[in-house]
Amino acid sequence: MKILKRFSLFEISLITAILGIHLYAAFADAYTFPNAWFKRDDAYYYFKVAQNISEGNGSTFDGINLTNGYHPLWMIVCIPIFALARFDVILPLRVLLMVVAGFQAASAVLIYRMIKSNLSHAVAILAAVFWAFNFPIHNTVYEFGLETPLAVFAVLYFIYRLSQFEKGWRTKAVQPREIATLALLAVVVMFSRLDLIFFAIIAGVWIIFRGKPIRFLLPLDMVIIFASMTSSVALRTGIAAYNTYYASSAVEAVILALLAKLVALYFSSAYHHPRSKSVWIIFRQILFAITSGTVITAAAYLFLIQLGFGRDFPRTAFILDWGISLLLIFALRLAARSAWFSNKNSFQPESPILEFNTSWKKWLAEGTAYYGVLGGFLALYMLFNKIMFGASSPVSGQIKRWWGSMANTVYERPASNWYSFFGAGMDTFNAWNPATDLFLWLANLLRFILPGPDKDDERYYIAMFVFVIAGLVLAFANKNRAIHISSKLAFIPLIAGSGIHILSYSATSYGGAKEWYWVSQMILVTLAGSFFLDLILKPLLKVRIARLALEILSVLAGIYFAYNLGNYVVTVMRHDYFAADRPYMEVLEYLEQNTPPGSIIGMTGGGNVGYFIHDRTIVNMDGLINSAEYFHALQSAEASAFLYERGITIIFANSQLLALPPYFGQFAPYLERYSSYGGKGLFYLLEEAKY
């Protein structure tokens, strides 16, 4: 009963609705789990590895090759659950579904509490039910069986604690223990999804430089510098050539540019209060900082090339980068001057050297406390992976960047246009769901202005532009509230972390981005959307009767959303509909009839098959859940011998797929077909090449 007292009536109702809907799904027919809920092959990579770990076989998908192709915290969650797979392979899926529902309920409650304490009750109700019952969010975050439920909860809880920290540091001294605690939460965020490390790093800047303009400007400068350098190279070479030849060198140049330009900006007084000086002085300071930073970056990188450490680099990209970064960083200062920092007396300017001399000990102590914890755990993780698996980071990510460097890979391509490069593409590089639905809605209304079936993209991006401009107008019209809420809800680290997160994929020729990667962006869209809705409803929220009416409407909207999601679950998660002995997948029956018991079968993908198949072992051939040694064998065209040496004598794959990059036909001389199914062939893997 004491636990229940910690929750409001709305929170209890929300949790009950979420768990009730998912409890119905958890008792559905066994056939529905791989075919209607946990449909993504990638999820079964976790499930099978977790099962093998729980049975003492080590971190392996196939029992043969050690692998680290996963995010560690979700694997830890999965291990005890999939220990149940030794009794029944469907039972862990039922349990996992309810565990995911628990994360979903906890995340919805966190959203409700953060928005209620910072915005309004009506908007908080609407935001919570939107997150809990929205179809795109539910499908992308909670149905795949991947790490996203844990990652969302970790990010939201970290923001919740940052919000509490924001209220506390203004009234009392910050203790090292508080910084270390936030650092530990950042570690949880990082290990929930490793690409969230950028958000975790930038959150440290937000924490350590509190009370100064630099905490607002530095994170956004980092995004600008990253985007400027990489886009300058892509402008100079073309995106296709950038992905194939220049992505690595561009990222190396980014690291140098970040070091040189940020230091130059600081000591040029570019992090003073933007209203403390004239526009002309601000421009001169930024011009000097960007020019000197660009010269240092170019000289350092060209020197590294001479030493043999750097790579070929289009030198004129440095000139483009100078112009782009100068323009954008100056524009950021103008925006800060006109909107965010309206009270110049709150930040008295002082010499950056004097500020550094008086603050460096505190910054060093807190930086050591935060980044020592974050960096220490990351270093231990990388060292463990290097010793245990031969690769300091998950081999799956290395493989996907290898795919992206190929012009004609059979797998997903890297960002291929400027929209995708900045995370606004129409494919998997669309990082801004669920706002996409709003863009599509407005785009449909624009048909009478811009008709024609070939204008869908134009209408979509016009609609996106309209929403962005409307949001900026709202924020500038309510600048004091905007800066207050951006501080309380950690908008700056979220925006900067999300921006660098996108570029960490698009600018590094990553060839297999998925829609569930964009965790921080979905959270940012939800929190920012709540803020803008609160601004729109502000006149009504001042009237007691109208405020009560909005709260009732929000509850009714929640009931409607919950009904729709519940109806969907009842439709797809059928009870007593499918025969209990129906094969979970038709391909399982085919493989079990056409291969002898004990067979070790090579297969591209194969996560779900590997989890459900009886008396046979599936070895992953694309390498995503295989070993670093296999990846190197694949790169050197020795994958056939590698597999044969480990007992694989049968291959189940599409021969045309194996003829294309990244396989380059290396398997063809070693394969002899003996059966076919659904566009794939069953082949004997020969010890010696036929030709």
The torsion of the CA quartet 681, 597, 632, 74, rounded to 10 degrees, works out to 100
Locate tokens 């048909």: which residue? Answer: 447
Alpha carbons 120 and 602: distance in angstroms, whole number: 56
Alpha carbons 665 and 246: distance in angstroms, whole number: 26
Length of the chain, in residues: 691
CA atoms within 13 A on the CB side of 305: 15
Q: Nearest to residue 160, comparing CAs of 483, 494, 481? A: 494
Locate tokens 């606004």: which residue? Answer: 424
Other beta carbons within 10 Å of 194: 18
- Residue 391 host element (H or E): none
Q: Say which residues have a Cβ less than 8 Å from residue 471's Cβ, sequence separation at least 6.
A: 528, 532
User: What are φ and ψ of residue 454, in 5° steps?
Assistant: -90, 5
Residue type present at position 117: S
State CA 664 to chain mean position distance: 30
Alpha carbons 133 and 155: distance in angstroms, whole number: 19
Find residue 618's DSSP bridge partners.
Answer: 601
Q: Say which residues have a Cβ less than 8 Å from residue 430's Cβ, sequence separation at least 6.
A: 423, 424, 436, 515
Alpha carbons 132 and 156: distance in angstroms, whole number: 14
pTM for this predicted structure: 0.95
* End-to-end Cα distance, the chain: 75
Q: Nearest to residue 490, comparing CAs of 216, 189, 289? A: 216
Alpha carbons 136 and 218: distance in angstroms, whole number: 33
Residue type present at position 297: T
Instruction: Provide the H-helix boundaries in 83-208.
Output: 91-118, 121-133, 135-137, 148-168, 176-192, 197-208
CB 284 within 8 Å of CB 313: no
* Largest separation between any pair of C-alpha atoms in the chain: 83
Identify the three-state secondary structure at position 630: helix
**Radius of gyration (C-alpha) of the chain in whole angstroms:** 27
Question: So what's the pLDDT on residue 629?
Answer: 97
The 8-class DSSP code of residue 683 comes to E
Alpha carbons 603 and 609: distance in angstroms, whole number: 9
Alpha carbons 581 and 609: distance in angstroms, whole number: 17
Question: So what's the pLDDT on residue 541?
Answer: 86
Instruction: Report mean pLDDT in 10-residue bins for the chain, 691 residues.
Output: 74 97 97 96 97 97 96 98 96 98 98 95 96 95 96 98 91 90 98 97 96 93 98 95 93 96 95 87 95 96 85 90 97 85 54 88 94 97 96 95 90 91 88 89 85 82 91 89 91 97 96 92 96 92 90 95 96 95 94 96 95 96 96 96 96 95 94 93 93 85
Alpha carbons 203 and 370: distance in angstroms, whole number: 10
Question: So what's the pLDDT on residue 3?
Answer: 60
Q: Nearest to residue 152, comparing CAs of 169, 132, 179, 129? A: 132
